[in-house]
Structure 1
Amino acid sequence: MLQPLTKRFRYHFYGNRQTNSIHKPEWYLTQVLKWMENSSTFMEEKIQPIFDQAGQTISAKVELCRGLVCVVQEKVASDASRMLYDDGLFCHLVEEVLQFEKDLRSHHSYPATLPGLLHILLEDAFLQKWLAVERKMAVEKMDAMLSAEGAWTSQYKDISDMDELKAPECAETFMTLLQVITGKTSSFSIFKRFHTK
């Protein structure tokens, strides 16, 4: 069952096809999630009873997902290696991998004990790149916050009934940044969101 899907994946997302764009990892990640979703009912209703009758404790749905994840792991590793010298592309890949992981674990009941895609980005070269980009974006954002026009004036300066300890604009922005970082959002999307303001 996995063989035709693997063949289609390789046809569309390798080689000179337009769908094989290093700028669009979401194309292949979304496609794999769709295949998992579309196959879910068939695996549960038609294939799982065969495993159950044979006395197997295997989940047909999870096994198909595991096979598809293996196909995607190879592609992500290949693409990540090509993106090490482009911060924008690398950030985009990380965001898409994090979203894929979230969908895989929450919507497809993929067990936490099985490897997904995140472990690829935790390999030394990719992890060092990830940390370097995070650090660079954080420093750029802090510099922009502190040097912005009006950074040291209170955003409440025109309100007369505020207390005398009026926090400057940069302090408000910094606290907002910390709140977003400590939330459940990916740090790349946080810095991208703040970076574009």
Structure 2
Amino acid sequence: MRRRGIDTFARVMELAERPARTDAVLFSHRAVKTFLEAASAEYSFITEDEPRPCFAVLLGRSAGAEAVVSEVAFGRNARLTDLSAREEFATAIVPRFGTAYENPVRAWWLDPADLLAITRAADARGLDVLGSIHLHPDWHRLGPECERDRPLSDSPTPMDEHMFRNAGWPVNVVCYLERRHGGLYYSLAAWDAQCLRLPLRTNHS
């Protein structure tokens, strides 16, 4: 990210308590369900021209080296309204990762004001901001012909890796969602700020 974008997120994240390292991510059923409902709604509106992203902040507690996710919180996409976001995509993201990212719904830039509000509200309730989760649809099936040979999964894309490293969050979850045999199926994978995979478990209740 450009320096201004990094500084904005760094100042906000100073309000959150984060572990020195994360050895495992424990994800509540309620948090998964909340995100999947929002992601499924966005998925239903995906067209060849509009990937329709879904992004949320992970809230919970740090228990030693484990991140226990109990809730997710949503904010606005500031791709078109935040000057730092517009500059970042125009000068760094598009030249590095391709013209597909000129599409304002191709990627997410969480509104800094929303992140600050989420962080303060979480802190007031004794919760930590642990990281983020975002949607990867089966864009290689739903998108234009040029996307057919670039399947997504629950692994980070090069663009995701760039954002994970620069945001510095200890937990970054990718939710892959696809339609098969008339139903929606998903998988989740967690990654740290250096894009190393973390063990992820979800509970059943």
Output the TM-score relative to the length of structure 2.
0.30
**Structure with bigger RCO (C-alpha 8 Å, 6+ apart):** 2
Larger relative helix fraction: 1
Output the TM-score relative to the length of structure 1.
0.31
Larger Rg: 1
